[in-house]
Amino acid sequence: MANFREIRRRLRAVQGTAKITRAMQLVAASKMRRAQVAATEGRRHSFRLEELAGCLNALLDSGREVPPLLLRRPVRTRGVVLIATERGLCGALNQNTFRLLPREDSSAKIRYVAVGKKGTQLLTAKNLPPVAEFSVASEVPFFQARAVADFLRDAYLAGEVDSVEVAHPLYVNTLRQETILRQLLPLDGAAKNLLRRSELLHSEGEPLPADPRELFLEPSLSEILEMLAESFLRLEIYHLLLESKAAEQSARMVAMKMATDNAEDLAKELELAHNKARQAAITDEILEISSAKFSN
């Protein structure tokens, strides 16, 4: 009887877990769709920005005065940004992103910046305390992305870091999320970043954007460069956060679906064991009644 009650208790617990994970799966699926649309619609803009920034590399050798955000200098301190999720239950997404982070060596020190509560927890657990922490809402308001970008810009211009790299998840499709470590500052690495992302997205059948239009800069090259550098940094951070949110919701939906399927499979096994135990208990009672009747 004790075994029968224990199976029934476990069955009810597993069925309750399945209901919770099913509800979380549906919530993640609804959020996933919105996040995917936001990420994919912003990709063409992001690609255009990186193409434009990549075209500016020729100016570095032309002798023209360029903004400090474009200039490469000896790297003594690296700034590394970890973009993670605000909540868990999204599989190995955060761990996979964390594994990309470089570690300090004799050549350069590293200052870490965490975007997302899980990023802060991962860095703190590994004794890598971040110098700054940021939280981002599910809908990714632009002012939050701007706050991250402005902090990185100020740290770079003040000489606190000599380069800025970002480890973030990239949404490819619902079942696939890639993790990338890419250089953000100085901006001379934009062309390489564009090629890497283009290869990943093109491998999934998404056509690479093409723009045959010619580029004219007005009112003057120096003014455009100054505005472009800061706008590029802010908008790139914004697009990276959109990609990360799409990857997060996709990973969470898949993780909750797998959890629901596993709970339902376990519930079926427990239900079968419950029925067998119940049948065995009934059989024992019948045998006891029969034995008592024959003994009398």
Catalytic site residue from 24, 90, 237, 267: 90
> Is 55 part of the annotated catalytic residue set?
no
DSSP assignment letter at 86: S
In order of 15, 38, 219, 232, the CA distances from 210 in angstroms are 51, 20, 26, 19
Are 100 and 63 in contact, with CB atoms under 8 Å apart? no
Are 165 and 78 in contact, with CB atoms under 8 Å apart? yes
Let me know how long the chain is: 296
Bridging pattern class, strands 176-185 and 132-134: unpaired
Helix (H) or strand (E) holding 171: strand 163-173
For the residues of 249-267, what is the DSSP string, one character each?
HHHHHHHHHHHHHHHHHHH
- The closest alpha carbon to 87, from 287, 266, 249, belongs to 249
CA distance 33 to 44: 18
Name the residue type at position 5.
Answer: R
Beta strands in 50-90 (DSSP E): 77-83
In order of 22, 115, 181, 201, 265, the CA distances from 82 in angstroms are 30, 6, 9, 22, 36
Catalytic residue positions? 90
